[in-house]
Structure 1
């Protein structure tokens, strides 16, 4: 299994080309030391700055919302854009806390909804495929789930060695190890060893091993078939899970839903559509907390022009 090796710092890590990464990591560590209420206002400021500077991402967010929610008014979609970037700002704070907070402090700021579904799944032999989505709480989600049931994360290593060091160790603070998102064999082996494997099939990863199925109001969204492939591993259970920031500012809630029944069914399009519906249901609980800034519909069927 091509498990990602734990990165280490060395003399090259302090080369001037990495000084920007050190400043970023130092900033994040400093954030983690602040009182939680102060962090809240800092997150709001970062969100406003992000919206002002990330013009192309603001455009993509608007376009995604137009495609997915055509029945909403322009004013409603604008409010969602505003809220989305507010949560982008909070995600910087959440990442700092997930990577640097001691367990006693982290545990004070999250609660669990649906723990009984995880307990039921663990009463049976086999791995657990955690079907998730790219919410702004992604880093908090990984650490929170790991405190209950340490598992295996799927991710893309960062090209900067300093950032990669802290990202890797932050994401494995309460989990076992990480597997590259292209390493399907590694994922299958982890599941066969009864591990929980975190998997987010909600991005547009291109047309390879993908089908075009509905996602919200877009009837042709490129969706990977890998979820069904992994779910076919013997005794694997598929549990939707995600984390949402609490509106009262108390932290966030780790949500674990019941295992999917009769999945997969063996039809690529039907299975991919089923997973999109799972993701849609999660998003609708808090659409402003989803990462709409990515080009979810960049891949189009042959002959169809782009939507961005």
Structure 2
């Protein structure tokens, strides 16, 4: 446990008591600095945007890249108040809107449900907003952090409100399916490149992308409906939109389902491209014989 981790967590706790405009202003400065100095990560963002938005001008892609670094910094600093500010402060900054029937079912329902939560920068805010308003058991899958202190801090933050169960990716699917079949919620973020194992290549903005077909698989095995949740960072906090459940999902074809998931994800991204997680090497795993992207 490093001293820098302890100081970092203490700094985030202190941010919980700082007015939101100040936090966001600091994040904007920090994001612009990161865009300038984090050269290797900026190249990842630039490569992703060039592949996914070839129709946009170079100037437009540069604008999106600069904005995405600002959102990276702001959303990270926001975890200070998300995980440490008083309940009333957090609740006042999180606005849930969208499909009324699905919102009510998240809060009061008993049927298995998967919340498809793509990697927008407000993903932690969306999880907090929804677990604050339901007693239903909610499962989320996370990747262990190398620093045990940071790992424990993140887990506790995500479990702060509601009945939240955090599972590691190595825990397997049995506890996930068991939780769904008992009428739980699964907060699932399957839109990243987790390597070649147990993935399929389906188009993402026309580019073959290694994608885990877990949304289809878990929905079928857990007999769960799929409800998309799209999170947006705003000047007053976050806006979390709960969309109508997918009526045509899952099918017996997991590959086709996963391709459909990516197409629908694209439609969400197109409404706010700067807020998607372009800092991730989404195309690091390539089809056999394909040239590397990064």
Q: TM-score, normalised by structure 1?
A: 0.89
Match of 2:145 in 1: 158
Deviation at 1:149, TM superposition (A): 2.6
Provide closer, same or farther for how the CA distance between residues 123 and 102 of structure 1 changes in structure 2, counting only shifts above 3 A. closer
- The match for 1:130 is 115
Between the aligned partners of 2:36 and 2:196, the Cα distance in structure 1 is 33
Q: Is the 8 A contact 2:106 2:134 kept in 1?
A: no
Match of 1:201 in 2: 190
Aligned match for 2:129, one of 111, 136, 144: 144
Runs of 4+ with deviation above 3 angstroms: 120-125
Q: Say whether residues 1:251 and 2:237 are aligned partners.
A: yes
What is the TM-score with the length of structure 2 in the denominator?
Answer: 0.93
Q: Give 1:92 shift.
A: 1.9
Equivalent pairs counted in the alignment come to: 289
- Return 43-52 or 104-113, whichever deviates more: 43-52
Pair 1:49 & 2:33 matched? yes
- Mapping of 1:116-127 within 5 angstroms? 116=100, 117-120=102-105, 125-127=110-112
Corresponding residue SS for 1:71:
coil
Distance in 2 (CA, whole Å) between partners of 1:124 and 1:87 is: 33
Offset, 1:52: 2.4
Per-residue CA deviation, residues 75-132 of structure 1 (Å, 9 max, x unaligned), is 0000000110110111122111111111100111121112512325677642111111
| More displaced 10-residue stretch of structure 1: 286-295 or 229-238 | 229-238
3-state SS in 1 of match to 2:2: helix
User: How far apart in 2 are the matches of 1:171 and 1:120?
Assistant: 21
**1:169-184 correspondence to structure 2 within 5 Å:** 169-175=156-162, 176-182=164-170, 183-184=172-173
- How far apart, CA to CA, are the structure 1 residues paired with 2:282 and 2:67? 19
Q: Which runs of no fewer than 5 residues in structure 1 stay unpaired?
A: 1-16
Contact preservation (8 Å) 2:139, 2:165? yes
RMSD: 1.6
Contact in 2 for aligned 1:240/1:278 (Cα 8 Å): no
Partner of residue 237 from structure 1, selected from 217, 225, 230: 225
Q: 1:10 is matched with which residue? A: none
Q: Partner residue of 2:278?
A: 292
> For residues 209-220 of structure 1, what are the structure 2 equivalents within 5 Å?
209-218=198-207, 220=208
The counterpart of 1:62, out of the listed 16, 32, 46, is 46
Alignment-derived partner of residue 191 in structure 1: 180
Distance 1:26 1:124 in 2: 38
